[in-house]
């Protein structure tokens, strides 16, 4: 697929000035390196040839980084950066499948992010303090530093799109509500679970209270909605896309690992909870309201 798309793109570059300008700016459309190292290498890699997969991935990463630097300096070729970013992600996934036979998502929980129960404390005060420290750190990075950087790059890459006038105020309201959900969830987890939301200090008790009665992962939902709200405030569709991609990564890479750990530690209790309470969409029953 990457080889076909790459070849189609090169044809469009030579045929359409609009495509050439949007994806390459004023760069000369020289295909002497890209055709063999990207298009042909991708096609050969599709047959399981490891060397071709390494060559294609390495070249894709190099071009993506070089094009991002060029676009940031010149404000040209922004759509080309996004295209090469997608190709880079696809190349890395394909390389993992060819070399390892799988995408090694378990690497996410190695080192400081490995799942470990928190040290039991006589009171919940330390867990609450630790949880709020995590919130400051993670929210500051994922909801301030990264979105601001993405919005800045979107401007430099000329990828900004107009938003309606109510987008900013709506984003503020949504951000406040989502943040309230995140804080509520964090307090319930740290006071009742004898632990924190951080993987390296997981709760020692299964928490089925507060927002956890209606949805299994309220903090993840809050974080994703917060990211989208920040995108509305900054009026950046790329920040909203960042929140969507984050939700996909969490749902398909992080959540299975987390639920496997919970299943191992809490057994039938967690199994019943997972079968009863949804992950994303709340389901409120008369029993839960009583």
The enclosing domain of 185 has a CATH number of 1.20.120.1630
- Please indicate, yes or no, whether residues 72 and 126 belong to a single structural domain of this protein: no
Domain boundary, last residue among 103, 134, 152 = 103
- Please indicate, yes or no, whether residues 155 and 263 belong to a single structural domain of this protein: yes
**Residue 38 contacts residue 52 (beta carbons within 8 Å):** no
Tens of pLDDT, residue by residue over 128-187, are 998 999 899 999 999 999 999 999 999 999 998 999 999 999 999 999 999 999 999 999
- Distance, CA of 12 to CA of 15 (rounded, Å): 5
**Residue 80 contacts residue 22 (beta carbons within 8 Å):** yes
Q: Can you name the residues that pair with 202 across neighbouring β-strands? A: 117
- Please indicate, yes or no, whether residues 159 and 227 belong to a single structural domain of this protein: yes
Domain boundary, last residue among 103, 137, 154 = 103
Task: Say what the pLDDT of residue 284 is.
Answer: 66
Domain boundary, last residue among 85, 103, 121 = 103
- Please indicate, yes or no, whether residues 119 and 231 belong to a single structural domain of this protein: yes
More confident of the two residues 31 and 11: 11
CA–CA distances in Å: residue 136 to residues 59, 98, 141, 152, 206: 38, 39, 8, 22, 24
- Please indicate, yes or no, whether residues 59 and 11 belong to a single structural domain of this protein: yes
- Please indicate, yes or no, whether residues 184 and 212 belong to a single structural domain of this protein: yes
What integer best gives the mean pLDDT of the chain? 91
Tens of pLDDT, residue by residue over 36-67, are 999 999 999 999 899 999 999 999 999 999 99
Residues 6+ apart with CB under 8 A from 118: 127, 194, 195, 196, 201, 202, 203, 204
Task: Say what the pLDDT of residue 26 is.
Answer: 87
Q: How confident is the model at residue 285 (pLDDT cuts 50, 70, 90)?
A: low
Count of domains for the chain: 2
Tens of pLDDT, residue by residue over 246-274, are 999 999 998 999 999 999 999 999 999 99
Task: Say what the pLDDT of residue 115 is.
Answer: 84
Task: Say what the pLDDT of residue 143 is.
Answer: 95
In this predicted structure, the answer to whether residue 289 has a pLDDT above a threshold of 50 is no
Q: Residue range 25-38: average pLDDT? A: 84
Task: Say what the pLDDT of residue 286 is.
Answer: 54
In this predicted structure, the answer to whether residue 1 has a pLDDT above a threshold of 80 is yes
- Please indicate, yes or no, whether residues 280 and 189 belong to a single structural domain of this protein: yes
- Please indicate, yes or no, whether residues 117 and 230 belong to a single structural domain of this protein: yes
Residues 6+ apart with CB under 8 A from 72: 153, 156, 157
**Quick one: tokens of 285?**
């029953």
- Please indicate, yes or no, whether residues 132 and 276 belong to a single structural domain of this protein: yes
Task: Say what the pLDDT of residue 198 is.
Answer: 83
- Please indicate, yes or no, whether residues 260 and 187 belong to a single structural domain of this protein: yes
Tens of pLDDT, residue by residue over 75-110, are 999 999 999 999 999 999 999 999 999 999 888 877
Kindly report which listed range (16-25, 109-118, 153-162, 203-212) carries the lowest average pLDDT score: 109-118
- Please indicate, yes or no, whether residues 133 and 49 belong to a single structural domain of this protein: no
How many CB atoms sit inside 10 A of residue 69's CB? 11
- Please indicate, yes or no, whether residues 150 and 10 belong to a single structural domain of this protein: no
56 is in which domain, residue-wise?
2-103
pTM confidence score: 0.90
Tens of pLDDT, residue by residue over 232-251, are 999 999 999 999 999 999 99
């Amino acid at each position: 697929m990457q080889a076909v798309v790459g070849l189609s793109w090169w044809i469009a570059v030579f045929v359409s000035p609009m495509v050439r300008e949007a994806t390459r700016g004023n760069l000369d459309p020289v295909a002497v390196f890209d055709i063999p190292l990207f298009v042909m290498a991708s096609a050969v890699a599709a047959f399981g040839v490891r060397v071709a997969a390494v060559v294609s991935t390495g070249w894709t990463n190099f071009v993506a980084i070089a094009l991002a630097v060029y676009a940031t300096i010149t404000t040209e070729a922004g759509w080309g950066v996004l295209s090469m970013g997608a190709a880079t992600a696809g190349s890395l996934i394909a390389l993992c499948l060819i070399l390892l036979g799988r995408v090694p998502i378990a690497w996410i929980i190695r080192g400081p992010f490995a799942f470990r129960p928190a040290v039991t404390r006589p009171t919940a005060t330390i867990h609450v303090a630790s949880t709020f420290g995590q919130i400051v750190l993670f929210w500051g990075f994922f909801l301030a530093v990264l979105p601001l950087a993405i919005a800045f790059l979107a401007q430099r890459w000329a990828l900004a799109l107009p938003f309606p006038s109510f987008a900013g105020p709506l984003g503020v309201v949504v951000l406040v509500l989502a943040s309230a959900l995140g804080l509520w969830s964090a307090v319930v987890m740290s006071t009742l679970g004898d632990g924190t939301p951080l993987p390296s200090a997981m709760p020692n008790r299964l928490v089925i209270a507060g927002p956890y009665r209606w949805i299994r992962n309220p903090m993840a939902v809050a974080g994703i909605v917060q990211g989208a709200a920040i995108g509305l405030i900054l009026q950046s569709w790329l920040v909203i896309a960042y929140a969507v991609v984050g939700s996909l990564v969490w749902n398909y890479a992080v959540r299975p690992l987390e639920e496997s750990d919970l299943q191992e530690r809490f057994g039938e209790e967690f199994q019943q909870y997972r079968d009863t309470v949804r992950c994303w969409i709340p389901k409120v029953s008369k029993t839960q309201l009583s």
